[in-house]
Structure 1
């Protein structure tokens, strides 16, 4: 399971998706990756926007219905592709030069929750 999480984080970094977390999104909309082509299958996971409260935006990690990882498929059978595997909060006013570190902190929290929820 940790492989799918590691791959997702690497894709976020390699494809320049991290800064998207700090853009304005309506709650419930997809942040990354964009829904096009075979990205849902390749990425297996996605980040969706939650509400902003007190300068913090909640971000949810969800499993794509096309996920091929066995642990993710098993989780999907018990839940749905709209269920939240994990979540974390980011400071929407994070300075640009601190975004990379803030993403790392956010991801550590989300990754731990995801591993715990997958068992």
Structure 2
């Protein structure tokens, strides 16, 4: 699994940021990580990416290519939310690995 993915998962779970996924958001907008220069460089497939694998993906598919997307159910009880996010992350990990490595 790539360094980028490990760092992303650590950032999501170690800080409790996964709870933000259940807040109200505008449809079609990125929920996580925050849209900041630092987060874009570390975790995103875009022109600010610093990781070699992410840069390679951008050069091949462009900056508007989605590596993975999902719908987050908003009616999940609080005690089941972390389990839902872990399943979502596992699915993302497979998609990410198949496209980025």
TM-score (norm 2): 0.83
Which has a greater percent of strand?
A: 1
- Matched length: 101
Listed one character per residue, the Cα deviations across residues 43-89 of structure 1 (whole Å, up to 9, x for unaligned) are 322xxxxxxxxxxxxxxxxx232222111110001122221101233
In structure 1, C-alpha distance between the alignment counterparts of 2:88 and 2:71, rounded to whole Å: 7
What are the ranges of 5 or more consecutive residues in structure 1 without an aligned counterpart?
46-62
User: Which runs of at least 4 in structure 1 moved beyond 4 Å after TM superposition?
Assistant: none
Greater share of helix residues, 1 or 2?
2
Following superposition, the deviation at residue 38 of structure 1 comes to 2.3
Greater relative contact order: 1 or 2 (C-alpha under 8 angstroms, separation 6 or more)?
A: 2
Give, in whole Å, the separation in 2 of the partners of 1:91 and 1:111.
19
Q: Give the stretch that moved more between structures: 2-11 or 64-73.
A: 64-73
